[in-house]
């Protein structure tokens, strides 16, 4: 009798446990979490007026909290540079994903901003070259004009916003604060002109 009772209790417990587990999945009001793009690398390629190119990069393949990122110092001489940006997910070195194409595909939802500080503000002018389908800037392509011949140092913060308000009052290439949206990546590059 005891054995039969124990078997019935075990069967009853198993049925309740199975029902509870399967019911939790179906009744869970929390939607599944969608994967966000991972951005580990930002590459800025500068082409001068003579057609010579050089690339300055930010790279953090293991993401926040791991090893410190490697950030190049942008070092330029006076000239006008055409700058193109490439955005990558290199978290898996065997499968590097170029996110630049996705930014172009969803160009109305993305905008780069460039904020200079220190002496860089005195010698560096940055302007958008590209535009989305509505004629508003993206920033994957810009011109950087470096003027003056004295050696200066400062910084440039490059920020990519997702879903900014591109028509916000006061929005400018160097004023992302009014744009809203979410920051996809923000990198402070030290800048030297000589």
Tens-digit pLDDT profile for residues 167-192: 999 999 999 999 999 999 999 999 99
Q: What is the pLDDT of residues 119-147, one digit of tens each?
A: 999 999 999 999 999 999 999 999 999 99
Q: What is the 3-state secondary structure (H, E, C) of 63-109?
A: CCCCCCCEECCEEECCEEEEEEEEEEECCCCCCCEECHHHHHHCHHH
Map residue 7 onto helix, strand or coil: helix
Helices H, strands E: what count in the chain?
3, 11
CA distance 22 to 155: 55
- Say yes or no to pLDDT of 18 above 50: no
Query: Distances from the Cα of 11 to the Cαs of 7, 17, 142, in angstroms?
Result: 6, 10, 69
pTM: 0.80
Percentage of the chain beyond pLDDT 70 is 81
Per-residue pLDDT, 36: 59
Q: How confident is the model at residue 156 (pLDDT cuts 50, 70, 90)?
A: very high
**What letter would DSSP give residue 24?**
H
| Secondary structure of 40-52 as H, E, C letters | CEEEEEEECCCCC
| pLDDT recorded at residue 132 | 96
Strand partners, 163: none
Check residue 64 and give its pLDDT.
81
Determine the average pLDDT of the residues in 154-159. 97
Alpha-carbon distance of 83 to 56, in angstroms, equals 10
Taking every pair of C-alpha atoms in the chain, what is the biggest distance, in angstroms? 99
- 41-193 adopts what CATH topology? Immunoglobulin-like (2.60.40)
What SS3 class is residue 25? helix
Q: What is the pLDDT of residue 28?
A: 44
78, 146 Cβ separation under 8 angstroms: yes
Average pLDDT across the chain, whole number: 84
For the chain, domain boundaries: 41-193
pLDDT at 26 over 50: no
- For residue 149, pLDDT beyond 80: no
């Amino acid at each position: 009798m005891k054995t039969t009772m124990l078997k019935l209790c075990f069967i009853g417990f198993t049925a309740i446990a199975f029902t509870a587990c399967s019911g939790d999945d179906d009744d869970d009001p929390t939607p599944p979490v969608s994967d966000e793009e991972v951005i580990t690398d930002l590459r800025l390629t500068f082409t001068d007026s003579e057609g010579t190119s050089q690339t300055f990069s930010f790279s953090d393949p293991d993401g926040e909290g791991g090893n410190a990122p490697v950030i190049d110092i942008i070092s330029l001489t006076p000239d006008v540079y055409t700058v193109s940006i490439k955005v990558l997910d290199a978290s898996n070195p065997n499968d590097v994903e170029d996110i630049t194409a996705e930014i172009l595909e969803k160009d109305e939802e993305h905008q780069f901003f460039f904020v200079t500080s220190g002496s860089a503000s005195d010698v560096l002018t940055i302007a958008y070259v590209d535009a989305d389908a509505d004629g508003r800037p993206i920033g994957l392509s810009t011109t950087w004009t470096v003027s003056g011949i004295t050696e200066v140092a400062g910084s440039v913060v490059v920020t990519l916003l997702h879903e900014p308000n591109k028509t916000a009052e006061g929005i400018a290439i160097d004023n992302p604060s009014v744009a809203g949206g979410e920051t996809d990546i923000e990198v402070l590059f030290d800048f030297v002109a000589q």
